[in-house]
């Protein structure tokens, strides 16, 4: 039986973040192709990690900078190794290449980290983000090198694929578009969904370990919510998210209707019971799981151009996309109060999901791409000379740094 080894940055927590849900989708796709799955990670176990055994996935803890991994991977001899984010490829990619050179190496980027960080730095410096910022972003050098060293990188954003090809001149054959995926039965049946009248309150939801989410909540607190509350005094905003810090919790203000609720026991139910999702993201990358989840729940949203980036193509958004905070607040109130507009926004969300995220749209082509690469891996690598060059040099520098750390730790 063919084996897929996943090297995870963390253990999957699908109820805490879109990244955890994405990983479980990848596991399902490879299991459908007949792969047995081993999920490994150097991360500590968490209280909210999924029980992988329930999904017929073998769990294995691994150590950073330790030759025990070499023994482990040689014995496993996987057909494919999937790195969860470029940091895992940096740590373990050279060991995979050295011990299992015939194994296909796939990188799941999650989002383009260098894009998110370059935008974040521009925001901190109070200036407009420029595409040229990517060329001086230190993480870009590491991330692009990782993409080049791998046989295939999975991308969830078409915008980011274009950046890699146009700015960094990455060969399109090294990239594969695979967004967050939905089963047909995951798209809300509007007739069974809570009605406009049965829903109440605004909602923000997002993992607070993710800096763009905390920044969005600060933006709501300091700028948008006072504007909205002035025009709509009875408005309530419920803020949910995993791993809220003390900085997040202290933003709670009952008098202002700004309520920090922490982790949701059932995120989908919380979204379904809300009338409008607010997501004023000022920097970030990838596509936003919270906004796709809102569509699933039949809940319209108001977000920014960063929030909606690469999510809807030329289809109408399920609500409004606004970057001006005054207009953002106004549109949020209109969407909350106008049932006809709200129902149309809900339908727009269904259309986006049906045309952009249904699993049947992607699973067949993905299987073909993996099969084709496995059959032609040697030629594929010959065509990727820059990747082979980086593999040659970085394998050595990373290898000896890791061995030095291993010796130092003894």
pLDDT for 396: 62
Q: How far apart, in whole angstroms, are the C-alpha atoms of residue 196 and residue 190?
A: 11
CATH architecture designation of domain 3-178+362-409: 3-Layer(aba) Sandwich (3.40)
Measure the N-to-C terminal CA separation of the chain; round to a whole number of Å. 37
Q: pTM of this prediction?
A: 0.92
Of 333, 113, 119, 317, nearest to 216 by C-alpha is 119
Instruction: Give the CATH number of domain 185-356; options: 3.30.590.10, 1.10.1060.10, 3.40.50.2000, 3.40.50.970.
Output: 3.40.50.2000
Q: How far is CA 324 from CA 163, 218, 272, 277, 300, in A?
A: 26, 16, 27, 17, 19
Query: Which residues have a Cβ under 8 Å from the Cβ of 198 and sit 6 or more positions away?
Result: none
Of 270, 276, 301, nearest to 288 by C-alpha is 301
Give the relative orientation of helices 385-409 and 138-149 as an angle to the nearest 10 degrees.
Answer: 110
Of 4, 72, 17, nearest to 240 by C-alpha is 17
Distance of CA 328 to the CA centre of its chain: 24
One digit per residue, pLDDT tens: the chain, 410 residues? 899 999 999 999 988 788 889 999 999 999 999 999 999 999 999 888 999 999 999 999 999 988 999 999 999 999 999 999 999 999 999 999 999 999 999 999 989 999 999 999 999 999 999 999 999 999 999 999 999 999 999 999 999 999 999 999 999 999 999 999 998 887 766 777 899 999 999 999 999 989 999 999 999 999 999 999 999 999 999 999 999 999 999 999 999 999 999 999 899 999 999 999 999 999 999 999 999 999 999 999 999 999 999 999 999 999 999 999 999 999 999 999 999 999 999 999 999 999 999 999 999 999 999 999 999 999 999 999 888 888 766 656 666 677 667 777 77
Based on C-alpha coordinates, what's the Rg of the chain?
22
Of 99, 82, 90, 110, nearest to 20 by C-alpha is 110
3-178+362-409 and 185-356: same fold?
yes
Q: Position of tokens 């699933």? A: 296
Q: Delimit the domains of the chain by residue range.
A: 3-178+362-409, 185-356
Strand 319-321 with 301-303, pairing: parallel
61 strand-pairing partners? 41
């Amino acid at each position: 039986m063919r084996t897929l080894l996943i090297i995870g940055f963390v253990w999957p927590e699908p109820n805490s973040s879109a990244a955890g849900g994405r990983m479980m989708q990848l596991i399902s796709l490879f299991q459908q192709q007949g792969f047995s799955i081993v999920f490994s990670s150097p991360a500590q176990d968490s209280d909210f990690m999924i029980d992988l055994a329930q999904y017929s996935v073998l769990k294995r803890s691994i150590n950073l900078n330790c030759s025990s991994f070499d023994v482990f991977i040689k014995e496993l001899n996987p057909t494919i190794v999937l790195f969860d984010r470029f940091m895992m490829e940096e740590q373990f990619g050279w060991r995979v290449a050295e011990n299992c050179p015939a194994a296909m190496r796939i990188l799941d980027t999650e989002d383009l980290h260098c894009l998110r960080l370059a935008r974040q730095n521009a925001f901190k410096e109070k200036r407009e983000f420029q595409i040229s910022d990517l060329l001086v972003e230190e993480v870009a050098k590491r991330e692009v090198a990782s993409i080049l060293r791998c046989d295939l990188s999975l991308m969830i954003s078409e915008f980011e694929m274009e950046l890699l090809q146009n700015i960094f001149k990455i060969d399109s054959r090294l990239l594969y578009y695979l967004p967050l995926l939905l089963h047909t039965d995951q798209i809300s049946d509007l007739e069974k969904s809570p009605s406009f009248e049965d829903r109440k309150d605004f909602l923000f939801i997002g993992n607070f370990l993710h800096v763009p989410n905390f920044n969005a909540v600060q933006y709501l607190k300091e700028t948008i919510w006072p504007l909205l509350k002035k025009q709509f005094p009875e408005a309530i905003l419920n803020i949910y998210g995993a791993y809220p810090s003390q900085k997040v919790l202290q933003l709670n203000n009952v008098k202002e209707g700004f309520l920090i609720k922490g982790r949701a026991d059932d995120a989908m139910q919380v979204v379904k019971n809300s009338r409008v999702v607010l997501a004023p993201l000022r920097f970030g990358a990838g596509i936003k799981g919270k906004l796709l989840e809102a569509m699933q729940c039949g809940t319209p949203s108001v977000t920014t151009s960063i929030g909606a980036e690469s999510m809807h193509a030329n289809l109408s958004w399920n609500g409004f996309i606004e970057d001006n905070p005054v207009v953002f607040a106004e549109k949020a109130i209109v969407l909350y109060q106008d049932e006809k507009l709200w129902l149309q926004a809900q339908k727009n969300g269904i259309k986006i999901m049906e045309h952009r995220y249904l699993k049947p749209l992607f699973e067949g082509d993905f299987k073909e791409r993996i099969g084709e690469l496995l059959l032609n891996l040697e030629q594929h690598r010959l065509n990727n000379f820059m990747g082979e060059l980086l593999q040659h040099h970085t394998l050595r520098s990373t290898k000896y740094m890791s061995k030095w750390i291993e010796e130092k730790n003894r």
